[in-house]
Structure 1
Amino acid sequence: MELPKVGSIGEYIRQQRQQAKISLRQLAAQAGVSNPYLSQVERGLRKPSAEILNQIAKGLHISAQALYVQAGLIEDREPDSDVLAAIRADVTITERQRQVLIDIYESFRKENRAGNPEAQPTQPAEPPPDAAVHRENTATPDSKEG
């Protein structure tokens, strides 16, 4: 009888490991877990404890919180933020890039909450109907034919 899958944490760990260009054996050694156990985690056959997730996060050089959220051990701090969810779900960027984007986004939000008049959120502006772009011949002296 086949064991049931326990969630997407294993897939997430595999994606992070592959992005970091680390073999399964290397990650197992860095995380201090056995190679067969880590393989079972990645295939969704085992659910790692918070302590094991912490060790795996260290081995991958990523945030343990990201693994806890993926494993369902903690809730994402701002479930209403589609931007944060999209950043965290993007597997085409590294964990470091994700964290930088999140930090920048959060700094903008913090600035807006502080009441900076220049940083107040606005609705996206729609261009006026007569704002067609007209291109004129703008040859520069370097581009003149001689």
Structure 2
Amino acid sequence: MTSENTSPWEEQREAMGAFIRSQRMLSNMSLRQLSQATQISNAYLSQIERGMHDPTLRVLVQIGDALHLSIEEMLQKAKETEDAEESVLTVEAAIAADTVLSPPEKQALLAVYRSYVASHL
């Protein structure tokens, strides 16, 4: 999730990293395995997944090849991930602001909501 102080560029970088991480995990690849498949260091891949670095086009192509994704697919899915994160923030804010639910009920609702969201990423 992003904070209010995060720039749009940082949000896009974080969304791309989150998408790459989710695709790697769906492919049942460890970070080390992806590193070997792409010839990119573990540390750099980890930083990309955490949204700390902007990957070059060459790096994106290597990651896409290893995960069997096209550049177009990666960019589109990263955009969708960013949009979904914004939606999650709105829903979570609405739950937190609700005046009818008790704090334990809010926590339970948030836990269920987050588990559903996580299953769709």
Q: Structure 2 length as normaliser, TM-score?
A: 0.52
| Equivalent residue, structure 2, for 1:21 | 28
> What secondary structure does 1:41 align onto?
helix
| Equivalent residue, structure 1, for 2:61 | 54
Greater RCO (Cα-Cα under 8 Å, separation 6 or more): 2
- Encode CA deviations 1:90-146: one digit per residue, 9 max, x unaligned: x759xxxxxxxxxxxxxxxxxxxxxxxxxxxxxxxxxxxxxxxxxxxxxxxxxxxxx
Shift of 1:10: 0.4
**Structure 2 segments unaligned to the other structure (5+ residues):** 1-5, 80-118
Identity of aligned residues (%): 38
RMSD between aligned residues = 2.4
Instruction: Write the distance in 2 (CA, Å) between the matches of 1:68 and 1:37.
Output: 19
Letter in 1 for 2:43: P
> What secondary structure does 1:8 align onto?
helix
Moved over 4 A (4+): none
Query: Larger % of helix: which?
Result: 2
CA change 1:17–1:68 in 2 (3 A) is same
Larger Rg: 1
For the 8 Å contact 1:14–1:42, the answer to whether it is kept is yes
**Do structure 1's residue 31 and structure 2's residue 31 form an aligned pair?**
no
Shift of 1:70: 4.6
